[in-house]
Structure 1
Amino acid sequence: MAKNQDNIIRTEYSEIMQKSYIDYAMSVIIARALPDVRDGLKPVQRRTLYDMYELGIRYDRPYRKCARIVGDTMGKYHPHGDSSIYEALVVMAQEFKKGQPLVDGHGNFGSIEGDGAAAMRYTEARLQKITQEVYLGDLDKNVVDFVSNFDETEKEPEVLPVRVPNLLVNGADGIAVGMATSIPPHNLGEVLDGVIAYMKNNEITTEELMQYIKGPDFPTGGIVVNKDDLLSIYESGTGKIRIRGKVEVEKGKNGKSLLVITEIPYTMIGANIGKFLNDVAALSETKKTTDIADISNQSSKEGIRIVLELKKGADIENLKNMLYKKTRLEDTFGVNMLAVAQGRPETLGLKQIIEHHVDFQFEVATRKYSSLLKKEKENQEIQEGLIQACDVIDLIIEILRGSKSREQVKNCLISGMTEGIRFKTKTSERQAKKLRFTERQAGAILDMRLYKLIGLEMETLMAEHAETLKKIARYEDILNHYDSMAEVIITELKQIKKEYARDRRTAVENAAEAVYEEKKIEETEVVFLMDRFGYVRTIDKGTYERNKETADSENKYVFSCMNTDKICLFTDSGRMHLVKVLDLPYGKLRDKGTPVDNVSNYDSSTEQLVFVGAQTALKCAKICFATAKGMVKLVDGAEFDVAKRTIVATKLSEGDKVVLVQNADPMEYMVLQTKKGFFLKFLKEEIPEKKKNALGVRGIRMDDKDELSHAYMLESRTDYEIVYKEKQMILNKLKLAKRDTKGTKVRV
């Protein structure tokens, strides 16, 4: 039986992986994530706009369902899932994201506060007028190359013939493989002025261009506060732009002032508005500022309006600076002007982007006027043929009457072939043999209607011919002279600016860095309370002294600390969580407080509290640890003088947990109690001091099925009673033994 001879190619697996990954990366970079420098669009945006153009969803026609647009785009041009197409469509319709929206959306297309758009089956869309005229105009004039779609059943434009530098006007953002782009939007009118200035002087510098393009122009307004950094950003294509929201002071009721935020940084769009409100509320709750009486979000379709009602005598300037410093009212926009130029990703400066755009405009204009010239020359040919035909119309009629077929007439008109045609006279036949019309002229003559022979129609034909000759001369002048073509492009740009430009929204200036004086917290002594349910709070020391008995009986942990201190929460999992005293609610004895889970990283569902203490007191002490497997050690409290909210307080072996954490300084003895009823009392001196990341030493010998249930530290000359098997037991009376022995089984 013959075996199939397979072609087996032997190669390194790593080489195959490398090649495959590079192919994938380039596909993401070029075909999905990065915009093309020529039209400033990603493939998904380009395909969606072209599909709307093909479907005839123009600005002056009714809206069409977004689901129809998305489905058609996915089926014909973009086989990457409907969500990415709809998301691109939505963003192109959102005025607060795009400097120049390209889609006219009808329905719920989301909000500046982060609300998502309605499902595509509910929303409708159509092209904006600027998109149709400036982005998709002239597609029928062979101005760009068309390529096959993914399954080679349709043709799509490689790039759209956009007549403005869309990469600057609308900006771009996208994450590819190993690279990302982030380009801020700019003012349309300013960008067009910059393009015109470059076309008039190719040697113009970036600094001179910035006399026209002042800086980014975000749709949300705001203030760019690092004007001096813009030159280096625009030269290199990378850098950081600092943006602030616009804050106004208004008079409120009862002589109070209102701080009103009317414009926000572009980076605050979406969920960050809610975060800003929470951050401002947190500044008040943590007493970082006491100037804010109330905060409300009064934003609507008319625009952003976030109102902070201030208390009387508030330091307005200091509060504004605090908001800039502590919240996203001042934020950074990272610029990385990366785009696909000549088929490869490249970081471009401002002038380079304009250079690429102008080169593209000349290419588009050359193809456009070449196409128009070709069409006019065809018209000239036909018009001249018709004019010539009118001079010999009687002969042509004679040829028509004497011929048997259209083809016979056509051959006669083109090459003077008279065979098979009956003429009235030999003179007519001789004249017919001299006819030399072109094929296009012959076709036009045969299609001509008799009414064209009327005198007025002939005059119209002559006028059309004269106009055609003028157009041909103009188009040839444009194609043959750089200045003429530049003049045409500049005229178009001025017309676009006149019709679509709007005033700048974002101010550009140099502003001093926000500096504020943080009010110093008056250091006072408070009493920390935690009840058995894990609710925490602090109260005034005087209040505690007056209600000492009640406070001690109702709470599990009670101790004094400073309000500037931190509370250490040790858990059975061997971790320590920190919480600032200032983050705890301060109030009356009967106040409920807040769950400790809410103010720290401690999670009561996965771990149990073993000990709670003030950091300042613990850092000067020796802390004793005991675990379920009988390991004990002392740790210097200074090791817990940390700033991190959560640290590992002690090392544990697998399956072990912490049973005891305690300040060992005033203690003299340690007592270990196992589940099987063994007790061992020994001197604290026998416990060695270790680092917090050490396991410790064995405190008591136990069999494999036993484990430590309790551990106690005892002071000398103080009786310590516990309840063991429902009977009182005094631990001090236990016989003193040595550490690492089995202990004594107590029978009660």
Structure 2
Amino acid sequence: MSDQNIIQTEYSEHLQKSFLDYAMSVIVARAFPDVRDGLKPVQRRTLYDMYELGVRYDRPYKKSARIVGDTMGKYHPHGDSSIYGALVVLAQDFKEGQALIDGHGNFGSIEGDGAAAMRYTEARLQKITQEAYLGDLDKDVVDFIPNYDETEKEPVVLPVRVPNLLINGSEGIGVGMVTSIPPHNLGECIDGVIAYMKNPDITNAEMMEYIPGPDFPTGGIIANKDELLSIYETGQGKIKVRGKVELEKAKGGKERLVITEIPYTMIGANIGKFLNDVASLVETRKTSDIVDITNQSSKEGIRIVLELKRGADVEALKNLLYKKTKLEDTFGVNMLAVADGKPETLSLVQIIRHHVNFQFDVNTRKYKTLLSKEMDKKEIQEGLIEACNVIDLIIEVLRGSKEVKQAKACLTEGITDGIAFKSKESEKMAKQLHFTQNQAQAILDMRLHRLVGLEIEALMADHNETLAKIAEYQDYLSNRASMAKHIMKELKAYKKEYERARRTEIDNLAEAVVEEKPIEVKDVVFLMDRFGYAKTIDLATYERNKEAADAENKYVFVCKNVGKICIFTDHGNMHSIKTLDLPFGKFRDKGVPIDNLSNYDSKQERFIYVCDLDAIAGQKMIFATKTAMIKQVDGTEFVASKRTIAATKLADDDLVLNVSPLTEGMTMVMRSAKEAFLRIACDTIPEKKKTAIGVRGMKLDAQDELQAVYFLTEGDNRVVEVKGKEVSLNRLHIGNRDTKGVKR
């Protein structure tokens, strides 16, 4: 390789340029809509392909797979799932402000059900799409560029006649930026465009008289009306959307809350999450007013029914639903679109300004094309009219010519050489003919029936109509006011045909406030069996079943219902559970695995000690590990807000063997796997922080480890079996810490 082929460049500069090129490609060619037509490239290509395939609103549906395949093969060389996904969304009237595709078959539901496979569904264009989005493409109104393999042509932008970026909104994620534009009402957007055309200096506040705010297809209520002006001026902000709730009377004097409209952000899986959140509010005793919840939604609309108990506080329950569930949610607005080839965050008026400028460009190109065609038509018509006046002479020229070339030369330039005339006078008149080339060709192509009187009258009428059109088109092109008037007339026609009533209400609603009722503090009994199933019962129930409760459960103790339960594990962790999260009920209820209520994982670790946090907060806790590391820890160190903390530090391959609270005069017996015993006084164990490993409690032989730890109080006569013999632990001599002990 020669030196001339080596390009030396700074790596960081090359990387920066390459990344910026990639980012802009993603932003402009994939993720974000163009401000002119409000469409992303995949949407634009899908609609154009349907137009080219002839899948019109007044023609039969065509399989979605055919549309997707044709789009992918001609214009969009990406996965078929992205194309079909775009097609499906364009057909969903619960997502789009104005659906652009007429879907036939299963195109998904508002509750998150996916569309059927593309081989099953069919589609065609909506009437408005064909008229207002794809009309006039044959009139050179937009630029066309080669497709990815330069075998086809595709439009740079569609000649959309309505402000689609506002009507349908858009959501997209690019590299380092995101767009989120809410849908608006078509009729209101058209009114806003007309208002801007009448007053280009209109402010955003004045524009909001025509476009007061978003209009979500799911309805609902916008709760922060006063913040909309700031959002429309900056192009960024947050819109609070609430579902619509109605109160209905039920049998027996009961009432029910019926949710008939939902926030736009609840579409899909969030409806199921809302149902689960409501059920969770009941299970966690945040409310006792809800008796049952059912989802009765259908094609007719949303209907989620909450059955209430008699005497329920309806207003408090509404506030609870707004605060704790997705019934009130936030729609983040970032009105970012590709304008003049680069991404830009736009205000409401700026979006409309770009749209109006685009409309003037489209119409200017349209009427220049139409004017050119009418001028050509005028030329032909005038030639035919003049020909009818001298038709006898033209017939004589044609009969006297030996070939068409002679006749055409005579008609255009008056050349009579080689043409046989009946008289000198005819030849003299022929020399005065001066038709244009196009007129001469039209005369040569003219059929004799055009000489009938009525045909001549029709020709004159067509000529007058052509002159009127030329005057009209020239007026549009030379007079901006006339063009504006014409554009507004078209917009009013679209509004009249496709306008629908606003679905989303706009208001200033007070912040939902939830006054949580103080919980009555009382003693409960915690029960947990050896399998880790836990629950709480009241004291009276425990007293009636004390014998069975003590026999069937590994941990039984009294605690406060507003406290926390601590679980110490062999891995040195302490997991905490709010006592209120435990099921409270009957003695024979099974309970819930602690795995489900905490970070404890029974597959990875084993619980060593379970206790009430309040009970150990004023005590010292003794830790002992398998490698005989021991220490005291102040119980206050375990008071923490986190659900899981490190209760002690462990050396590699070490595990916690025992955790116990310290009592006065208590002694500790360590027993190794090789049957060595060491009894020490607990007050000789030093106090350490929970982050410390501790000190050695017993010297162990090689390959030996602690097998068990026993704690003795005064008068405690505990006996263990060693090799078939009984050993009384209270008879063991109290030795010194960090000694080998005695073997039995």
Superposition TM-score, scaled by structure 1 size: 0.96
Q: Distance in 2 between matches of 1:249 and 1:633?
A: 62
How far apart are residue 521 of structure 1 and its match? 1.7
Would the aligned equivalents of 2:103 and 2:122 in 1 still touch at CA under 8 Å? yes
Relative distance call for 1:709 and 1:440 in structure 2 (3 A) is farther
Please tell me whether residue 511 in structure 1 is matched to residue 509 in structure 2: yes
* Equivalent residue letter for 1:72: D
- Which of 199, 202, 205 in structure 2 is aligned with 1:201? 199
Q: Deviations over 1:622-641 (max 9, x none)?
A: 22222233322222222222
Partner amino acid, structure 1, of 2:489: T
Mean Cα deviation higher: 675-684 or 726-735: 726-735
**Is the partner of 1:20 in helix, strand or coil?**
helix
Q: 1:678 aligns with which of 654, 661, 676?
A: 676
Report the 3-state secondary structure (helix = DSSP H, G, I; strand = E; otherwise coil) of the residue aligned with 1:153: coil
Report the equivalent of 1:451: 449
- Between 1:22-31 and 1:687-696, the stretch displaced more is 687-696
Q: Which runs of 5+ in 1 are unaligned?
A: none
2:631 aligned with 1:633, yes or no? Answer: yes
How far does the alpha carbon of each residue in 1:92-142 deviate from its partner, in whole angstroms, 9 at most, with x for none?
111111111111111111111111111111111111111111111111111
What is the deviation of 1:5? Answer: 7.4
Instruction: Name the counterpart of 1:486.
Output: 484
Does 2:17 align with 1:15? no
* Distance in 1, Cα, partners of 2:503 & 2:593: 46
Q: Figure out how many residues of one structure are paired with residues of the other and give that number.
A: 744
State the alpha-carbon separation in 1 of the partners of residues 686 and 544 from structure 2. Answer: 42
Structure 1 match to 2:147: 149
Quickly say closer, same or farther: Cα 1:681–1:200, change in 2 above 3 A.
same
Deviation of the 1:582 alpha carbon: 1.4
Structure 1 segment 258-273 matched on structure 2, within 5 A: 258-273=256-271
Provide the residue aligned with 2:543 in structure 1: 545
Note closer, same or farther for the CA distance 1:582–1:643 as it changes in structure 2 (3 Å cut).
same
Distance 1:227 1:733 in 2: 81
Paired residues of 1:620 and 1:637 also in contact (CA < 8 A): yes
1:589 corresponds to which residue?
Answer: 587
Q: For residue 345 of structure 2, what is the aligned residue in structure 1?
A: 347
Q: Mean alpha-carbon deviation: is it higher for 723-732 or for 157-166?
A: 723-732
- Pick the aligned partner of 2:275 from 274, 277, 283: 277
Say if 2:236 and 2:335, in contact at 8 Å, map to a contact too: yes
Gap change, CA 1:743 and 1:429, over 3 Å in 2: farther
Q: CA deviation at 1:607?
A: 1.8
Shift of 1:726: 5.6
Q: How does 1:93-112 map to 2 (within 5 A)?
A: 93-112=91-110
Aligned position for 1:573: 571
Distance, in Å, in 1 between the alignment partners of 2:217 and 2:613 is: 49
> What is the distance in 1 between the residues matched to 2:433 and 2:698?
124
Higher deviation after alignment, 725-734 or 379-388: 725-734
- Provide the rounded CA distance (Å) in 1 between the counterparts of 2:293 and 2:376: 71
Q: Which amino acid aligns with 1:732?
A: N
Cα distance in 2, alignment partners of residues 192 and 107 from structure 1: 32
Deviation (angstroms), 1:291: 0.7
Match of 1:187 in 2: 185
Q: Is the 8 A contact 2:665 2:681 kept in 1?
A: no
Does the Cα contact within 8 Å between 1:289 and 1:519 map onto a contact in 2? no
- Contact kept, 8 Å, 1:664 with 1:713, in 2: the verdict is no
Which residue of 211, 214, 229 maps to 1:213? 211
How far residue 205 of structure 1 moved from its aligned partner, in angstroms, is 1.0
Q: Which residue of 2 aligns with 1:385?
A: 383
For residues 19 and 527 of structure 1, do their structure 2 counterparts lie closer, same or farther at Cα, with a shift above 3 Å needed?
A: same
User: Which residue in 2 is equivalent to 1:736?
Assistant: 734
Q: Cα distance, 1:415 vs. partner?
A: 2.6
CA RMSD of aligned residues (A): 1.8
Moved more, 728-737 or 116-125: 728-737
Report the Cα distance in structure 2 between the residues aligned to 1:270 and 1:239, rounded to whole angstroms.
Answer: 23
Contact 1:223 1:508 in 2 (8 A): yes
Structure 1 residues 725 and 561: CA distance shift in structure 2, 3 A: farther
Gaps of 5+ in 2: none
Match of 2:398 in 1: 400
Give the structure 2 partner of residue 658 of structure 1: 656
Q: Does 703-712 or 214-223 show the bigger shift?
A: 703-712
Question: Structure 1 pair 410/689, CA: closer, same or farther in 2 (3 Å)?
Answer: farther
Match for residue 464 of structure 2 among 463, 466, 470? 466
Task: Quote how far apart the aligned CAs of 1:414 are.
Answer: 2.5
Match of 2:5, SS state, is: coil
**Residue in structure 2 matched with residue 121 of structure 1 by the alignment:** 119
| C-alpha contact 2:35 2:338 (8 A) present in aligned 1 | yes
CA distance in 2, matches of 1:632, 1:414: 118
Q: 1:724 to 1:60 in 2, by over 3 A?
A: farther
- Residue identity matched to 2:502: R
Give 3-state SS (helix, strand or coil) of 1:586's partner: coil
Code of the aligned partner of 1:327: T
1:439 aligned residue? 437
Using the alignment, how far apart are the partners of 1:726 and 1:443 within structure 2?
A: 126
Contact 1:667 1:713 in 2 (8 A): no
Q: Distance in 1 between matches of 2:726 and 2:438?
A: 120
Deviation track 1:494-538 (CA, whole Å, cap 9, x = no partner) reads 111100010000000001111132222211111111111211111
- 2:286 corresponding residue in structure 1: 288
Give me the whole-angstrom Cα distance separating, in 1, the residues matched to 2:366 and 2:509. Answer: 47
Map Cα deviations across residues 371-416 of structure 1 (whole Å, 9 max, x no partner): 1111111111111111111122222222322334333433332333
Percent identity, please.
Answer: 68
User: Quick one: structure 1 residues 435 and 679, their matched pair in 2 at CA, closer, same or farther if it must change by over 3 Å?
Assistant: farther
State the alpha-carbon separation in 1 of the partners of residues 384 and 141 from structure 2.
31
Aligned match of 1:692: 690
Q: Which residue of 2 aligns with 1:49?
A: 47
1:356 — aligned with what? Answer: 354
- Distance apart, 1:146 and its partner CA: 0.6
Could you report, residue by residue, the CA deviation over 1:473-496 in whole angstroms, capped at 9, with x for unpaired residues? 111111111111110111111111
Offset at 1:621?
Answer: 2.0
What is the letter of the counterpart of residue 541 of structure 1? L
SS, match of residue 545 in structure 1? helix
SS at match of 1:587: coil
Q: Which of these residues, 216, 221, 226, is aligned with residue 224 of structure 2?
A: 226
CA offsets 1:554-593 (integer angstroms, 9 cap, x no match): 1111111111111112222222222211111112211111
User: How many angstroms does 1:365 deviate by?
Assistant: 1.1
2:415: which partner in 1?
417
1:68-87 equivalences under 5 Å are 68-87=66-85
Q: How many angstroms does 1:157 deviate by?
A: 0.6
- 2:378 is paired with a residue whose SS is helix
- Counterpart CA distance in 1 for 2:582 and 2:173 is 41
CA distance in 2, matches of 1:431, 1:297: 91
Structure 1 residues 434 and 595: CA distance shift in structure 2, 3 A = same
SS at match of 1:363: helix
Judged with a 3 Å threshold, the aligned counterparts in structure 2 of structure 1 residues 18 and 633 are, in CA distance, closer, same or farther, namely farther
Cα deviation for residue 245 of structure 1 reads 0.5
CA distance in 2, matches of 1:605, 1:402: 109
Measured in 2, the distance between the counterparts of 1:415 and 1:725 equals 134
